[in-house]
Amino acid sequence: INPKLMRDYILSHTDLFGTLSTPIAPLVNKITDSKIIKTIMDKTVAIDKHKSLPKYSFGSFRHWYKKQANTQAQFERQISYFHGCYVNYNNPQLGKDLVKLLNAMNIGVKLLKKEKCCGVPLIANGFHDKARKNAQFNVKHMTEAVEQFNTPILSTSSTCSLALKQEYPHVLNVDNSKIMHKLEFITPFLLREFMNGNMPTLKPVNKTIVYHTPCHLERSGLAIFTIELLRTIPGLKVIVLNSECCGSAGTYGFKKENYEVSMKIGKGLFEQIKQANADFAITDCETCKWQIDENTDLETIHPVSLLAQCLAE
């Protein structure tokens, strides 16, 4: 078997490896974090030894949500949440933060009956047939949610959001026209709610943050919504970076043959972040987060998590 093909398979089949890893997350995280394993992966399947593979959560977001479903159903207004692989397997806290924030705005959160990876890592690694099947599966379940409940379908990942709206019809030739008007990234939805008077009470935060615009959000023209949303937090100083690509480009930066280029691309951004003297960094994209966490001293969080932390108890 071709080692690089094996590597591309591992990096792109997020549902498979997420499902296998979350029940034994502490063990998996310990193994993939060890220097010996990193060196072996570097030599055998060309995952660069300088890169840390994303940590898995012990238990998935969907597993946590099952216990919340009845509470969520009691809200009169509802949204459907396309949580994606990152929230489900790596960072359920972001999903929990979204539920907390929307509940404070008197909005309940539904999940789709089922969902699969949006398909972006599959497209990027050449598994187009699998990506198309995932897209058809997701469109089917999103259509059901819209027909049954007439909810908007929100995503917290700028990458998933771009895929659901743009890449399904244009790259994978999967028709999403019936639900297109219901698909929305989270920050424009929240900003509109805030501007229309449905704004939860936020406590003042005397902190400075740097905001990095993910490429996918920039291309979608949605970065301004996140920036304006961050500016609604009292006392928060928002520094908008002159964002260039962080260099990760999804799974690209994990590959040994791309690592050097990836770091050169991200260098300008890392320098800007280091010079800004901020308390933490904000970005809407999970792979940007991993790249910034790994190459600067700042913790990087999602705008939704920041808002949830600022809720007045």
Which has more confidence, 255 or 197? 197
The answer to whether position 119 is within a domain reads no
Largest pairwise CA distance in the chain:
58
The domain in which residue 241 lies consists of: 199-309
Residue 249 has a pLDDT of 84
Write the pLDDT tens digit of every residue in 62-91: 999 999 999 999 999 999 999 999 999 999
**Domain contains 210:** yes
CATH code, domain carrying 290 = 3.40.50
DSSP sequence for 21-65: HGGGHHHHHHHHHSHHHHHHHHHHH-B-TTPPPPPPPSS-HHHHH
Structure tokens at 162: 């771009």
Is there a contact between 288 and 219 (Cβ–Cβ < 8 Å)?
Answer: no
Instruction: Determine, yes or no, domain membership for 205.
Output: yes
What pTM did the predictor assign?
A: 0.93
Please count the structural domains in the chain.
Answer: 1
| Least confident residue range of 11-20, 161-170, 204-213 | 11-20
pLDDT digits (tens, 9 = 90+) for 178-196: 999 999 999 999 999 999 9
Residue 32: inside a domain, yes or no?
Answer: no
Residue 305 belongs to some domain of the structure = yes
Strand order in the sheet with 107-111: 107-111, 77-82, 153-155, 183-185
Considering the domain boundaries, does residue 223 fall inside one? Answer: yes
**d(C-alpha 118, C-alpha 289), whole Å:** 19
Could you tell me if residue 271 is inside a domain? yes
The pLDDT-based confidence of 146 (bands split at 50, 70, 90) is very high
Structural domain includes residue 218: yes
- At 22-68, the pLDDT tens digits run 999 999 999 899 899 889 888 888 878 888 888 999 999 999 999 99
